[in-house]
Chains A and B, each alone.
Chain A
């Protein structure tokens, strides 16, 4: 299946940002979603002013008696309920609430009557709309169009089948460019309708709480009463948006719409879905990625009560039973034989040795930078400071294991589950089953976490479920065990880097980052410091694993490399790590302000108890600048003890500060978890770890009890919030431990360095 990547992803790959040409390399094409490519996947959608067939279809799909659809993406019912259709999936990051806030604020809707629903996975709701709007009339929204990388436009024009959530993009693109504009345009239509009905001029009318009021006469009309007429009006393409001071919902701590169903067990996730006569299946794929199923004797599974069928795929075996337990028992009874696809020698130590060798050979596949690093290093002679870093494969560990229900019936394939790109999911399943995309229907469900694991490009469960469904007459829910999850992930790549720099008069004169990673790893490796000569050299080394996007993508490892190394340089220069960073940031910049604020909140420089250290780090990713300070010491058993964390965030504007704070804090905890204890390792080509017993996630007791998050509000373009909290924490912790112990950590994770 690794050989059959989702063509959407191929299309993304075919559209690299012009300044970073991608060298195709390796035996096998790899599904890759990283850096700019992920940003490209950033589910933007646009406004449907022009395409009537799509609007008609959207109406048919979503609009019932007494309801009126506007611009595909929202409807107003006669009881005033406003429903927004979100093209993005909410897997816990609060997107639906944020998009609702943006629409309802511009619309002046009564928030208690606003609902957000998942848009159907139909092309009428695809990002094609964006292409039409941005390449057509809608180029008049500077904040939006300027924020779009050229590659995004290129990719979107090629892809008709994309509806992705990722790259921290939902709110900043969909919300800013879409929902706010729709809300404002519909509000204007409602006002125009009311003006006609009341026989007054629009200027005499005001709107609030889903009502248009004529103050002079005391008359008013509810949106529900106006909706039918307003829906017939042509809508302004250029409505006036509110200014910051007029916001009532945007930038306010609104409670999340999805939370009540998540405290009483009523929220239905993909794994909870059920149908009459449905069977449950579970799967074991070849232990070595790239291997194939050679043979399996089905009898031992068939002897387990409740087991109904054993299904063989090219590279996996599936057991279908009446329930999950019987299926799992049946699977455990089997002794399938798999080939190793020629990857049996792949191991973590072998990968690192090969990566070092490749780097030492000195032939980079991609390079970028400014100034003349080579001359600076030559002039410095022995005074080049060098450090080697390594980071392991990381598993996403979304708490809900993959589960997808599939039913092949009357020539159609129906799917139910949680994936980040519903239309892309249909496309991949259709390809796997040899069907037309129009015959595949996907019903998106709530997701128990994602973190980059649920893009169709990396979700082979789509292929598995589609092939399985074609072999059975009943609906079947395919559920991955945790062991399958851990062993067949699409991991954050195992990667290594040599950083080198030279100092002159207390400043960094030249900086080089030689990093070894998969064959498309140039995105999100940003460098924020003011250094006259910089060089970034990428050495492409692929393994038998599929590199996947892991929350904040390449910023995790590069954040660790850069922010650890600059700390080393500060110490080499005999300077305070905060002040050393500060003087390398442009005077008066947003970066400098973020760094100053975090130092202030954390009481940087104030005395600490014996054995406790403070570390600082700053990373910009997905348009957001985050600086973090961590206070940490070492426990009796030698493991790190994180005492407190601070974060200062400049993402322009937060739509919902209450939720943004949770996203940043959660990102810090995920990063600390990985930094301290997480690693996927390979031996004989197969993943060694199997479950939460040997893949170590941080628990409450080891998380900082206090994470102090502050936002700097500015009119800068809106940045992402789901991912940017992650990257700084690794280095901030390692730097804190250096301050506490004098021991520098350059290999992750901290607890199991021996493994690497």
Chain B
């Protein structure tokens, strides 16, 4: 018996790789971490791959390719965006911030990055760029996020299970350290 792709697989693949009709590369200009860039890419290329392969900003990670995990999270004009699912042509003229752009010019960590170090959040670390980008966006939007707001906003997957420390770091970064210590994991 012969076998081709299982049907579900085929459908999923086709939906993701819809031919656009425009195969030719086009020049697309936007800014990344405050610097102007111009890339030659096919219009349908997801921002993720332009960042990782053309601009060599590999801090933004590939996890699923279908906007389901958040590993590829960046900010586009300040909006939290899953870069695997946005064509680079949509980014023209916009401002992108990646994990590499969070530090201050002098190398000082962003308060959220520092909270991540203080709470010793990362295990394998692979999801953490996306987690930090999501947390920064949440804090910029809400100031001092409540537990319910954290639950709602932090939908990125962490297979290592760092969720309790992610919550603790967000609370600590927003001056809610007292609350954070109440939800801290037990003393050793």
Contact = CB atoms under 8 A, between A and B. Distances in A.
Contact of A323 (B4, B6, B8, B53): B53
Contacts of A217: none
A274 B159 contact: no
Interface string B59-70: 111111110110
B188 A340 contact: no
Contacts, number: 266
B94 interface: no
A267 B183 CA distance: 29
Given A93-B123, A264-B100, A667 B1 contact: no
A686 interface: yes
Interface of chain B: mostly helix, strand, loop or mixed = loop
Interface in B51-97: 52-54, 56-66, 68-69, 71
Given A399-B61, A482-B65, A262 B125 contact: yes
A708 B98 CA distance: 34
B185 A332 contact: no
Nearest to A704: B164
Given A265-B100, A325-B45, A332-B13, A700 B188 contact: no
A705 B5 contact: no
A446 B126 CA distance: 9
B147 A705 contact: yes
A400 B124 contact: yes
Given A267-B125, A399-B127, A658 B65 contact: no
B117 interface: yes
Interface in A279-310: 280, 284, 286-288, 291, 294, 304-306
B94 to A, nearest CB: 19
Contacts of A601: 186
Nearest to A323: B53
B146 interface: no
Contacts of B29: none
A255 to B, nearest CB: 6
Contact of B1 (A326, A340, A663): A340
Contact of B4 (A328, A337, A705): A337
A335 B59 contact: no
B177 interface: no
A256 B120 contact: yes
Interface in B144-181: 147, 150-152, 154-167
Contacts of B109: 263-264
A324 interface: yes
Contacts of B8: 688, 690
A481 B17 CA distance: 13
A397 interface: yes
Nearest to B45: A325
Interface in A71-99: 91-94
A265 B129 contact: yes
Given A272-B58, A305-B42, A662-B120, A700 B151 contact: yes
Contact of A338 (B4, B61, B66, B132): B4
Range of interface residues on B (Cβ < 8 Å): 35 or more
B99 interface: yes
Nearest to B23: A305
A374 B164 CA distance: 47
Range of interface residues on A (Cβ < 8 Å): 35 or more
Interface in B26-68: 42, 45-46, 49, 52-54, 56-66, 68
B12 A665 contact: no
A22 interface: no
Contacts of A658: 120, 188
B103 to A, nearest CB: 6
A648 to B, nearest CB: 9
B166 A700 contact: yes
Contact of B68 (A344, A447, A692): A692
Nearest to A477: B53
B17 A328 contact: yes
A54 B125 CA distance: 34
A261 B188 CA distance: 25
A704 B23 CA distance: 47
Interface in B105-145: 109, 113, 116-117, 120-129, 132
Contacts of A688: 6, 8
B17 A703 contact: no
Given A264-B99, A401-B62, A692 B157 contact: yes
Contacts of B127: 399, 448
Contacts of A692: 63-64, 66, 68-69, 157
A510 interface: no
A693 B68 contact: yes
A434 B172 CA distance: 55
Interface in A645-698: 646, 654, 657-663, 665-670, 673, 684, 686, 688, 690-693, 697-698
Given A266-B59, A398-B159, A701 B125 contact: no
5 contacts: A91-B124, A339-B3, A340-B1, A706-B183, A709-B186
The 7 closest A-B pairs by CB, nearest first: A265-B59, A448-B126, A669-B161, A92-B124, A262-B125, A657-B188, A666-B161
Interface of A: 91-94, 253, 255-256, 258-269, 271-272, 274, 280, 284, 286-288, 291, 294, 304-306, 323-326, 328-329, 331-333, 335-340, 344, 397-401, 446-451, 479, 481-483, 487, 601, 646, 654, 657-663, 665-670, 673, 684, 686, 688, 690-693, 697-701, 703-711
